[in-house]
Structure 1
Amino acid sequence: MAFDEFLGERIRNHLNQKSIPFIEKKMMGGLCFMVDDKMLAGVVKDHLMARVGPDQYEEAMELKAARPMDFTGRPMKGYVFVDPEGIDREDELEYWLQLCLNFNPQAKSSKKK
């Protein structure tokens, strides 16, 4: 399954501009960006996958371009898909990535120890 390489580049540029260390991983048919060994955001097809956390989830869902992240028939808590029209402008993408960065310190690492 292909994913939007340009959106991946935009996310990469944003994180680099903020000097945020990250790792990229191809997973779930797309590209994920990890910060502090925790999933931050990703690209699935042409959508942004945003890990906003449970406290920001309802607020995020009120935005017109957001919808539940659902791979299996059950939405994942704290994650949303953002449709392409909701991240066309750089300030829109920056808004979503900042929500993800705000939640990242509280997120649990999936890294095995």
Structure 2
Amino acid sequence: MGNTDGSAFRRMLRKLTSDVDELDAENLSGDAERSGAQRAAECACGQEVTVLGRLRSVEYGPQDAAATLEAELFDGTEGVTLIWLGRRRIPGIEPGRTMRVRGRIAVREGRKVLYNPYYEICPAT
């Protein structure tokens, strides 16, 4: 037999035996790194950051409370909570969307948060 590329075989075997969520997280993390965005897991409180990831959830504030829109963005390493104050809905902000967001990281109840982040909805791939 000829020379076989063992690394290609290992990659294929890993894809066949790994958890789908684990592979998705790796793909997201790789996309974020290639785009020049920071990894959410490495962002620190007070730091100005750009994060690329996929929205896992979107929650609309109740009608009788102050208007807020919260979403969880996951970049493959960690989630970041996005909070828009004074907004009940933003067209295009929905679960499954890939977004690039920019703002200053805060920590609320142990979670990383971006308040009123600048955002860009990325095209579906």
Query: Is this a same-fold pair by TM over 0.5?
Result: no
Higher strand proportion, which one? Answer: 2
Instruction: Provide the TM-score with structure 1 as the length reference.
Output: 0.33
Higher helix proportion, which one? Answer: 1
Choose 1 or 2 for highest CA Rg: 2
